[in-house]
Amino acid sequence: MANGTIAVEGKTAEVDFYHVKGKYKGILSWLLTTDHKRIGLMYLSSMTVFFLSAMTLGVLMRLEMLTPGETIMSAQTYNSFFTLHGVIMIFLFIIPGVPAVFGNFILPIQLGAKDVQFPRLNLLSWYLYMIGGGLAIFSLFVGSGIADTGWTFYVPFSIRTTTNVSLTVFAAFVLGFSSILTGLNFLTTIHRLRCPGMTWFRMPLFVWAIYATSWIQVLATPVIGITLLLVILERAFGIGVFDPTLGGDPLLYQHLFWIYSHPAVYIMVLPAMGVVSEIIPTFAKKPIFGYVPIAISSLGIALVGYLVWGHHMFSSGISDTSRVIFSLLTFIVALPSGIKVFNWVATLYKGSIDVTAPMLFTLLFIFIFSIGGLTGLVLGALNTDIFLTDTYFVVGHFHYVMFGGMGLIFFASLHYWFPKMYGKMYNEKVAKVAAYWIGIGFNVLYFPMFIMGYLGMPRRYYDYLPEFQTYHIISTVGSWILVSGILVMVFNLINGIRNGKKTTDNPWGGTTLEWTVPSPPPLENFEEIPTVTTGPYDHTHIHKQEVKN
């Protein structure tokens, strides 16, 4: 690894963004900040709390599944737990995760900008996020019971249940605005604030991925907003849009829900793919293989991703013709993801590969995400989906794609940009041990779910037939391995923030603009707005620089 830096030497006189003196001091200097880096870190800390609580719910659910019948909780509690686990993980971690934290912190620097286009709107997005999260938590303690509908809020159940669905749904509604405004902010930033020389095809692929994601956020999120509002109105006034007893149509809800929620899957996973396209060139020390195909495939996924929502409804009673069309389109949307995977692997060819902690997480991602993607083919196929949908096979597939896709890359991003964010370094050995640990736990936890699903274990089951118990035991043990690995990783990172060794501006030998500024960066990132003359992953440039130094 190159320990030489390409940053302009001797410019450390400028105060980093943590220590810069502003209008406000102490906690207010964070709560009233408009600095994209501080906002990114505020997202990170609140998100960590949400993630760890939803993870705890998940572990408790797995513990409940250790034996058939009641193990530690009642059926009603279990139903509330999987609803909460889903709502928190999806709406507060997976959807905002990478864009809110790393998009905010890194994207403006990668573009050579001083901040996002609308810094105040950016702060408002964070407040909306916190209000939405707060409402979701508030809904646990008021009304008659915790929502028990599952994160999909399917009608008519969500209309009939007496639990506190309206408030939980409203929380998701507020979170939607946070998502829309963040997307809008990034879109304008990417269009307006690229530094001189930063043409579209010189943008880092992370920026391309966030760009595609932002379009989905802006265009698809309003649909779910209105849909959730209709659920609240239906519950309060019985307006008869979804309720079949009033002439409404439950399938209409499913259409509207998935018109947003399927593209949302790509809101979750596209930014993660962008990060992978950053990490691999850095540690293979060569340009990404097929820059243009990767950039275009991000847009392709965003576009075709709009047209496949029906595959969530293959057994719901939609017409046979629409099932066939949705199935064909689903197979087509698999292609750009596949192309990305091939390009990433090809980037390794004839590189000079350094398997650091972020790289290890990324390699793990390629393996696990491939399993997630490939099991998606079975679910995109018509007759096998009708057999496997709503079973544990789907639960397994979903976690391989979402947790294996977005979650692992969130961890990779943390390790990759950690030195930039904190100016310090975590313990590399512990980080690698944690990565292997997480990889093993992950597969022990989620792989048995494919087998259970094939054998006929339906999802969202509080109780099950004893023939499934062996698999449930394995899966539960896996959850313990996975969680202990995550805890080791979290403690290692926290310890790195407190006691880590000081690091250089460019510890990995990265080539994108964030590695040219000090770690941590100063308030407005650049003393002088840079001019870009090459593509984002030009390692020949680095070599010449190192020789000169």
Q: Which of residues 1-60 bind other proteins (CB under 8 A)?
A: 1
Which one, 437 or 464, has the nearer CB to other proteins?
Answer: 464
User: In 342-380, which positions are buried (b, 16+ CB within 10 angstroms) versus exposed (e)?
Assistant: ebbeebbeebebeebbbbbbbbbbbebbbbbbebbebbb
Q: In terms of Cα–Cα distance, which of 159, 292, 131, 193 is closest to 529?
A: 193
Which one, 122 or 227, has the nearer CB to other proteins?
Answer: 227
Residue span binding other proteins (CB under 8 A) among the ranges 269-277, 343-351, 423-431, 435-443: 343-351
Judged by CB under 8 A, does residue 466 bind other proteins?
yes
What is the rounded CA–CA span in Å between residue 450 and residue 30? Answer: 45
User: In 178-189, which positions are buried (b, 16+ CB within 10 angstroms) versus exposed (e)?
Assistant: bbbbbbbbbbeb
User: Least distance (Å) from other proteins to the CB of residue 542?
Assistant: 10
User: Least distance (Å) from other proteins to the CB of residue 527?
Assistant: 31
What is the rounded CA–CA span in Å between residue 114 and residue 129? Answer: 23
Which one, 103 or 336, has the nearer CB to other proteins?
Answer: 336
Which one, 188 or 370, has the nearer CB to other proteins?
Answer: 370
Which one, 222 or 351, has the nearer CB to other proteins?
Answer: 351
DSSP class of residue 200? G
What is the rounded CA–CA span in Å between residue 296 and residue 288? Answer: 14
Residue span binding other proteins (CB under 8 A) among the ranges 41-49, 424-432, 461-469, 470-478: 461-469
CA distances from 471 to 81, 85, 397 (A): 21, 21, 16
- Please pick, from the candidates 37, 85, 323, 399, the single residue that binds other proteins as defined by CB under 8 A: 323
- Please pick, from the candidates 285, 397, 420, 472, the single residue that binds other proteins as defined by CB under 8 A: 285
Which one, 158 or 492, has the nearer CB to other proteins?
Answer: 158
Count CB atoms within 10 A of the CB of residue 21: 9
- Please pick, from the candidates 119, 143, 456, 530, the single residue that binds other proteins as defined by CB under 8 A: 456
Judged by CB under 8 A, does residue 320 bind other proteins?
yes
User: Least distance (Å) from other proteins to the CB of residue 467?
Assistant: 6
546: three-class secondary structure by DSSP: helix
- Please pick, from the candidates 190, 220, 224, 363, the single residue that binds other proteins as defined by CB under 8 A: 363
User: Least distance (Å) from other proteins to the CB of residue 346?
Assistant: 7
Q: In terms of Cα–Cα distance, which of 389, 383, 262, 248 is closest to 323?
A: 383
What is the rounded CA–CA span in Å between residue 172 and residue 96? Answer: 12
Which one, 199 or 383, has the nearer CB to other proteins?
Answer: 383
Which one, 118 or 154, has the nearer CB to other proteins?
Answer: 154
Judged by CB under 8 A, does residue 447 bind other proteins?
no
Which one, 119 or 145, has the nearer CB to other proteins?
Answer: 145
> What string marks each residue from 513 to 532 as x (binds other proteins by CB under 8 A) or -?
--------------------
- Please pick, from the candidates 4, 222, 338, 530, the single residue that binds other proteins as defined by CB under 8 A: 338
27: three-class secondary structure by DSSP: coil
What is the rounded CA–CA span in Å between residue 179 and residue 260? Answer: 12
Which one, 194 or 285, has the nearer CB to other proteins?
Answer: 285
368: three-class secondary structure by DSSP: helix
Residue span binding other proteins (CB under 8 A) among the ranges 109-117, 430-438, 454-462, 511-519: 454-462
Count of residues interacting with other proteins (CB under 8 A): 91
Give residues with Cβ within 8 angstroms of 263, minimum separation 6.
216, 220, 302, 305, 306, 309
CA torsion 499-501-505-511 (nearest 10°) is: -100
Q: Are 246 and 240 in contact (CB under 8 A)?
A: yes
Residues 153-172 that bind other proteins (CB under 8 A): 154, 156-157, 160-162
**The one-letter amino acid at 443:** N
Residue span binding other proteins (CB under 8 A) among the ranges 32-40, 133-141, 148-156, 168-176: 148-156
Judged by CB under 8 A, does residue 67 bind other proteins?
no
The DSSP string of 205-267 is HHHHHHHHHHHHHHHHHHHHHHHHHHHHHHHHH--SSS-GGGT--HHHHHHHHHHHHHHHHHH
Residues 379-418 that bind other proteins (CB under 8 A): 381-384, 386-387, 389-391
Residues 108-127 that bind other proteins (CB under 8 A): none
Residues 163-222 that bind other proteins (CB under 8 A): none
Which one, 70 or 428, has the nearer CB to other proteins?
Answer: 70
> What string marks each residue from 69 to 108 as x (binds other proteins by CB under 8 A) or -?
xx----xx--x-----------------------------
Which one, 37 or 285, has the nearer CB to other proteins?
Answer: 285
What is the rounded CA–CA span in Å between residue 375 and residue 363? Answer: 19
- Work out the angle between the directed axes of helices 250-284 and 320-348 (0-180°, nearest 10): 10
What is the rounded CA–CA span in Å between residue 170 and residue 465? Answer: 37
What is the rounded CA–CA span in Å between residue 287 and residue 281? Answer: 5
- Which helix (H) or strand (E) segment holds residue 186: the answer is helix 165-192
Judged by CB under 8 A, does residue 378 bind other proteins?
yes
Judged by CB under 8 A, does residue 236 bind other proteins?
no
Rg of the chain over all Cα atoms, to the nearest angstrom: 23
- Please pick, from the candidates 48, 53, 370, 484, the single residue that binds other proteins as defined by CB under 8 A: 370
- Please pick, from the candidates 12, 56, 495, 540, the single residue that binds other proteins as defined by CB under 8 A: 540
Which one, 183 or 336, has the nearer CB to other proteins?
Answer: 336
User: Least distance (Å) from other proteins to the CB of residue 459?
Assistant: 8
